[in-house]
Amino acid sequence: MRAVLLGPPGAGKGTQAVRLVEKYNVPQISTGDIFRANIKEGTELGKKAQEYTNSGQLVPDELFVDLVKDRLMQEDCKDGYLLDGFPRTIFQAEQLDKFLEAQGQKLDAVINFEVGNEVLIERLTGRRVCKSCGASCHVKFSPPKVEGVCDRCGGELEQRKDDSRETAENRLAVYEESTAPLIGYYSETGALKNFNADQDPNLVFAEICAEFGA
Ligand code: ADP
Ligand code: ADP
Ligand code: ZN
């Protein structure tokens, strides 16, 4: 399965990706995760990205395109992958298309997560992420067994800085402006499949699986 997970921040892309990875045995490629790991580890890419963010500029599209192309050439992506958080702009989508075309490949689907903004704000501000393994949970919708402790690995849970209410609202606005146009872009290519992501995560997963088969 070669698919893109498309949807606003907080829609549940990461949550569904964990399940889809297991079922379809393809890697999840999250540009947000890669980005945060590079910044944390202080790699060349991380330093470059930080220069932009420090000076208040947006990280340029090209940086993400190069990052993803590089990742998709790796052996484990040979039989498919789930792109999570990429493409985020029309430019990125066009570059991805060019790359796929050059490889003689195409996307099987763009899985579009539909959820209203009010729900998204509640999901984002309540999200907690494990410092050790990156798993995410929610203080209200999927609370950990022990407060502040990751169910999966016992690591410490923290709130992402950009999950504050103000930044979350800003990210939703950026999504509307820069990323939502991809819905039109992919409905023209015929790859778009819409899913109601404002329901129990088990149901969302079941509906996606029904579309793609066992
Ligand atoms: P994204 O990767 O799209 O930003 P996440 O998968 O991290 O979104 O989910 C955002 C937050 O909402 C997390 O705290 C997660 O536990 C919670 N969540 C995800 N899917 C659902 C759902 N279907 N119903 C309720 N809460 C959800
Ligand atoms: P979420 O899961 O909440 O949608 P991500 O973890 O995907 O957020 O991304 C976190 C941040 O990393 C974004 O707000 C953005 O600044 C940056 N980022 C991630 N992927 C991309 C991309 N493809 N293009 C530009 N910026 C990106
Ligand atoms: Zn953990």
Tally the C-alpha atoms within 13 A of residue 84's C-alpha that lie toward its C-beta.
23
Residues near ion ligand 3 (CB < 5 Å) are 130, 132-133, 135, 150, 152-153, 155
Say which amino acid occupies 61. Answer: D
Look-up of token digits 């606003």: 8
Domain ranges of the chain: 2-26+79-116+170-211
Report d(CA 90, CA 93) in Å as an integer.
5
Active site residue 71: no
User: Domain 2-26+79-116+170-211, what fold?
Assistant: Rossmann fold (3.40.50)
Active site residue 13: yes
Q: What is the pLDDT of residues 2-11, one digit of tens each?
A: 999 999 999 9
Q: What is the pLDDT of residues 43-96, one digit of tens each?
A: 888 888 888 777 767 788 888 898 899 899 999 999 999 999 999 999 999 999
Catalytic, out of 2, 127, 128, 193: 127
Backbone angles phi, psi at 89, to 5 degrees: -140, 160
Q: What is the pLDDT of residue 35?
A: 84
Q: Which two tokens stand for residue 211?
A: 């579309």
Q: Are strands 127-130 and 157-158 parallel, antiparallel or unpaired?
A: antiparallel
Q: What is the pLDDT of residues 163-204, one digit of tens each?
A: 999 999 999 999 999 999 999 999 999 999 999 999 999 999
Higher pLDDT, 104 or 49: 104
Other CB atoms within 10 Å distance of the CB of residue 38 = 18
Active site residue 127: yes
